[in-house]
Amino acid sequence: MMSAVRQPQKSSRSWIFLVLRWVAALVILGILFHLLPVGPLRNALSRIPLTRFIAVLLIYMVALTGGITKWHTVVNSAGAQINFAASAQCYTSGLFGALFLPSIIGGDVARLAVGISRSPRPAAVITGNVADRFLDVAAQLTLVSLGLILLPGSLPVSLQGPAKRALFAGVLAATVFLGLVVALRRPLLRGRSIHFRRRLAQLKHAIRAVSRRPWRLVFGWLLGTSVQGTYVLLTALLGITCGLRLPLRVWLFAWPLGVREAALVVLLAPFGAPAPQVLATGIVWEGVIITAGLLAGLTAFLLRYLQTRTQGS
């Protein structure tokens, strides 16, 4: 009875998050449309032909197969024991879920829900997914670093100091966090239930399995960097089509930090990028992401359907 009461509450809470997310996005877009001149923005959007949008979308979908391969490699390094079709279903479910659930965490929840149901070792799926997220962050930091060091003085003078301090703060925060985890692991685990300790033992086993295959992690990092780099190139291509011409090192620096429309407008302003063209590029790129997410949801549904038919026969 209690579970029946909680289920509608969770469902309504999910709908509230979904509505708030899209309302916030529309409000931000409305503010940008109000502040920026509509004529140049409309002109920049009209320069994107349908064939260019479809071509970018197809290349984006091909790059997603690299993301699926990376996730499949990392979670199986942790001992998840799932085949490539199951990994594809997990990954595409996460992409579809990210459209409706709050932030990328919502996509991870959808991905893990499918992965745990398909794997005999749920703890390995969780560990592998966390490792995959760390590889994504490492890939983005790699691109940002390339943008910073590709050419001396590639950043405006006003941003060189803050950028270096932000990178140093990120490394320092990660070091402090790992130190706290190591120092406090025993007090945090004291008095926990046997069931919790059993789950933790499974998690430790999965972490050891990942650490015993460092070359797979390196391969995942290289693959993730290639996928993220492809996204940067596609965004730069859309920017050129919209009339936005910036050096590639600028895109390498700015794209991982803020791919959303408002963030791009702010990040690229110091480089002299016209705000209407930047906003147009961000809107078209968001259209690519949404379309790809919908296609990913259809793919996940078809994979689930094929799995059900195979089990039925």
Residue 258 in domain: no
Label residues 17-55 b or e (16+ Cβ within 10 Å = b): eeeebeeeeeeebeebeeebeeebbeebbeebeeeebee
Residue 11 in domain: no
Query: How many Å separate Cα 310 from the centre of its chain?
Result: 31
- This prediction has a pTM of 0.75
Residue 56 in domain: yes
Residue 219 in domain: yes
Assess whether pLDDT exceeds 90 at residue 119.
no
Residue 241 in domain: no
Neighbours of 237 (CB within 10 A): 16
Instruction: Extract the tokens encoding 48.
Output: 């994107």
Residue 116 in domain: yes
CA distances from 151 to 119, 161, 230 (A): 46, 16, 20
Residue 18 half-sphere exposure, CB side, CA atoms within 13 Å? 12
Cα gap 71→88, rounded to integer Å = 9
Domain count for the chain, please give it. 1
How do residues 30-83 score in pLDDT, each as one tens digit?
Answer: 666 556 666 777 788 888 899 999 999 999 999 999 999 999 998 988 888 899
- Kindly state the average pLDDT of the residues 213-223: 86
Range of the domain at 111: 50-150+163-223+282-312
Residue 136 in domain: yes
Q: Which of 8-12, 140-144, 163-167 has the highest mean pLDDT?
A: 140-144
Q: Chain-wide mean pLDDT for the chain? A: 78
Per DSSP, the chain holds a count of helices (H) and strands (E) of 12, 0
Residue 132 half-sphere exposure, CB side, CA atoms within 13 Å? 26
- pLDDT at position 265: 78
Residue 37 in domain: no
Out of 86-95, 125-134, 184-193, pick the least confident.
Answer: 184-193
Question: Could you tell me which residue, 306 or 6, shows the higher pLDDT?
Answer: 306
